[in-house]
Amino acid sequence: MVGIKFNDIFGIMKYLTLTFWLYFSVGYSQSNTSLTLLLLNETKLDADQWFGRDAFGYAYFSKGNVFYKQKELEKWEYKNLILGKITKVDITNPLRILLYYEPFNTIVTLDNQLNEILKTDFNLHTSIVTNAIGLASRDRYWYFNTQSQKLGLLEYFQHKFSEFPRWITNPMVLYDSTFNEFYWINETGEWWTCDIFGKMQMRKKIKDIIPYCFLDAKTLLAKKDGKFVLVFTTKEEVRSVPELENLEGSFRFQNQILSIFTQTKLVEFQINLP
């Protein structure tokens, strides 16, 4: 364990580097791969919800149903108390920030200064009730329609909805997305992915594992037998992550940063995935 000091974009003076070696088997061969955890920050945070940090170092969180974007002395806020508590925030594109209010079946899109630029009310379409959303490529949103039990794409400028033909009947317990892929784990432990063309594949069946958050479409942070582990679609074995023991709260992974918000403090690690 080595302590090092330098200035970074977060204004953090002290870093802790923890490196442990993981061994992966590919086919019938064995190769060495390192996973590095760099402790970026451990600080108090006065917030109700934490939504992550974008590629430019801006932090996103909410307090009293007010949404904030902050970096050092810069701070913006967005308030829409009528819609209530924010269910999900997608900061994949910091110029088009997506806020999802599931109880009101509504998405609000903000620019980089948190000005409202678009509101999508799915209630205007009586056949669509959503419980999962995400930002997709080419001016589109991912959405899951609980009425039809289908995953779809919304072209939001044209108000055009299209749903993939395959039904998704088992409820999702965890989901995430990129511009080109939507992925989830359902109640039966099936790990699925879907691309923007509607091709769905079951990648893995997991058992006796509690999912916490996706690191990408092929990597999951989870708990097994009370211990944090990494689970991979391409590997049968799991890999322990002892550096995260004794940390509980909401887990988010964005731009190679794993953040854990415990309601009293925020802990952030930079993770270089193998």
Reported confidence tier of residue 274, pLDDT bands at 50, 70, 90: low
pLDDT in tens, 102-136: 999 999 999 999 999 999 999 998 789 999 999 99
* Model pLDDT for residues 133-174, shown as the tens digit of each residue: 999 999 999 999 999 999 999 999 888 999 999 999 999 999
Is the pTM higher than 0.85? The answer reads no
Concatenating the DSSP letter of every residue in 146-193 gives TTTTEEEEEETTTTEEEE-SS---SPEEEEEE-SSEEEEEETT-EEEE
Query: Lowest-pLDDT range, 26-40, 44-58, 123-137?
Result: 26-40
43 near 53, Cβ under 8 Å?
no
Average pLDDT over residues 95-108: 96
Asked if the model's pLDDT at residue 71 lies above 90, the reply is yes
pLDDT of residue 24: 31
Residue 10 has pLDDT above 70, yes or no: no
